[in-house]
Homo-oligomer: A and B are copies of this chain.
Amino acid sequence: MSHTNPTTNAPLERLFEFLRFPSVSTDPARAHDVLACAEWLVARLTAMGLEAESHPTAGHPVVLARNTHRAGRPTVLIYGHYDVQPEEPLAAWTTPPFQPVVRDSVIFARGSADNKGQIFAHIEGVAATLAGRGDLPVNLIFLVEGEEEIGSPHLEAFLNAHRESLHCDVVAISDTGMVAPGIPTLTYGLRGIACLELRVHGPAVDLHSGIYGGAVRNPATELARLLASLHTEKGQVAVSGFYDDVRELEAWEREAWAKAPFGEAQIQAVTGVEAAGGEAGYSALERIWGRPTAEVNGLGGGFQGEGTKTVIPKVAFAKLSFRLVPDQDPARVLECVRRHLVAHCPEGVRVEVELGHSGEPYSTDPHSRFGLAAQRALTRALPGREIALIREGGSIPIVNTFKKVLGVETLLLGLALPDCRAHGPDENFPIANFETGIVLNQALLEEISRA
């Protein structure tokens, strides 16, 4: 492979090498690329002066690296992943996804934002500190896995197996985003999720809508009525018990979020909707970051082809997911929803509920000892800008796994921008954000060492 953008910036050169591995974890044909990427990473971490090793799992390897740990200073685990999403649709890329290029000071490549660019900024930050001082101010563990894009199927077992050697005081992850370019951003909460599939069964076979229509309940109509029953006119979830454990937003949160340069106007621009929607009494960001939802992710039933087939379908289904906020419990929410659906199902059709996967919401205190250290580091990396204390609407299950297995909180220090196109064509990461990440890493380890 030749350099598309020759450069004299050594960290950027190394990032480009990292980005050239098509380490697509979901593709069995790329298993050797994933492995080669892990080995390259071990070599780089070793060359920097860390003790690094690739650990096999039942899937792709986990790369671990550490400095010499010394008593009396905190241990920081920095998590990231070296695997990436598939590059399809290839034709939609301006330049090939695994041939990184810089256009207008922005790096374009699969993995540039998610997560190679972000984890590699931390690695280069550590390299710079080691090069300058010969040691780090903290005990450090890098844990860089190769299966994040396929749901980290072997990570929890790995953490359990290495619980002793992975003992740490705090986890830091840069796999989220900045709320806007140049805004230092600390993410202190994530929504959880709970999924189920609802099926409404009626007649034994699809019926002729002329011969029977009017005298039997239509499962598609009843499905629609059940789905409609999930919300009030004001956009609240109308399931009894659903909000029981929802932690109300604190005044400082609503205040902080109100300053974020992202709201209805931006949502309309990005999504193409003509008007925002959602729960009355909350701003767009509050709805996404701080309030739970009930969403229909898909539905189907009866005749879906061209034209007309006048049947009463025997069954209709919907795939539902619920985004959860602290302190909702996925199992309890699913039970409330199941009870609601059964209770609202009329005679003449039958409801079947199949529970799907779930994950707990996450929140940590941004004003804790390590939270404040992270805020100081962010200010040093991006001076002169007020820190955005945010939550995010999505889920990062690994954060709960760290809490459960290692008993520690996670600092989420996002470096990607809202238009980074993670998972999509033309994924990108500005050079400035990469460089900010390097500075942030150095400041973070220092601030944690003093916390």
Asked if A350 lies at the interface with its beta carbon under 8 angstroms from chain B, I say: yes
Interface residues of A in 253-298 (CB under 8 A from B): 264, 267, 271-279, 284-285, 287-288, 291-293, 295-298
B288 touches A214 (CB 8 A): yes
Interface residues of A in 388-440 (CB under 8 A from B): 392-395
Asked if A154 lies at the interface with its beta carbon under 8 angstroms from chain B, I say: no
Q: A231-B221, A274-B350, A301-B298 are in contact. Are A213 and B308 (CB under 8 A)?
A: no
Asked if A340 lies at the interface with its beta carbon under 8 angstroms from chain B, I say: no
- Nearest-neighbour CB distance to chain B for A120, whole angstroms, equals 24
Contact residues in B for A277 (Cβ distance below 8 Å): 215-218, 346-348
B298 touches A220 (CB 8 A): yes
Asked if A158 lies at the interface with its beta carbon under 8 angstroms from chain B, I say: no
Contact residues in B for A226 (Cβ distance below 8 Å): 224
- Nearest-neighbour CB distance to chain B for A424, whole angstroms, equals 9
Asked if A311 lies at the interface with its beta carbon under 8 angstroms from chain B, I say: yes
Our pick among B267, B278, B284, B319 for the contact of A303 (Cβ within 8 Å) is B319
Q: A224-B223, A224-B228, A350-B274 are in contact. Are A356 and B312 (CB under 8 A)?
A: no
Stretch at the interface among A9-17, A18-26, A201-209: A201-209
Asked if A180 lies at the interface with its beta carbon under 8 angstroms from chain B, I say: no
Copies in the complex: 2
Our pick among B202, B278, B302, B356 for the contact of A307 (Cβ within 8 Å) is B356
A298 touches B309 (CB 8 A): yes
A264 touches B356 (CB 8 A): no
Our pick among B228, B267, B293, B312 for the contact of A209 (Cβ within 8 Å) is B293
Q: A216-B278, A288-B215, A309-B297 are in contact. Are A302 and B273 (CB under 8 A)?
A: no
- Interface size class, chain A: 35 or more
Asked if A146 lies at the interface with its beta carbon under 8 angstroms from chain B, I say: no
B227 touches A287 (CB 8 A): no
Q: A319-B308, A356-B308 are in contact. Are A299 and B213 (CB under 8 A)?
A: no
Q: Mark each residue of chain A from 297 to 337: 1 if its CB lies under 8 Å from any CB of chain B, else 0.
A: 11111111001111111001011010100000000000000
Our pick among B229, B297, B300, B309 for the contact of A299 (Cβ within 8 Å) is B300
Contact residues in B for A392 (Cβ distance below 8 Å): 210-211
Asked if A133 lies at the interface with its beta carbon under 8 angstroms from chain B, I say: no
Asked if A70 lies at the interface with its beta carbon under 8 angstroms from chain B, I say: no
B299 touches A316 (CB 8 A): yes
Asked if A225 lies at the interface with its beta carbon under 8 angstroms from chain B, I say: yes
- State A388–B207 Cα separation when bound (angstroms): 24
- State A278–B301 Cα separation when bound (angstroms): 20
- State A275–B346 Cα separation when bound (angstroms): 9
* Complex A-B: 25 CB contacts under 8 Å: A191-B210, A195-B310, A213-B288, A213-B323, A213-B393, A214-B279, A214-B292, A214-B393, A216-B267, A217-B278, A218-B277, A218-B295, A218-B296, A220-B297, A220-B298, A220-B318, A224-B318, A228-B228, A274-B347, A275-B347, A296-B316, A297-B302, A299-B301, A300-B304, A307-B356
Q: Which residues of A contact B (CB under 8 A)?
A: 191, 193, 195, 202-205, 207-218, 220-221, 223-231, 264, 267, 271-279, 284-285, 287-288, 291-293, 295-304, 307-313, 316, 318-319, 321, 323, 346-350, 356-357, 392-395
The 6 A-B residue pairs whose C-beta atoms are closest, nearest first, are A210-B394, A204-B272, A298-B302, A224-B227, A217-B277, A228-B228
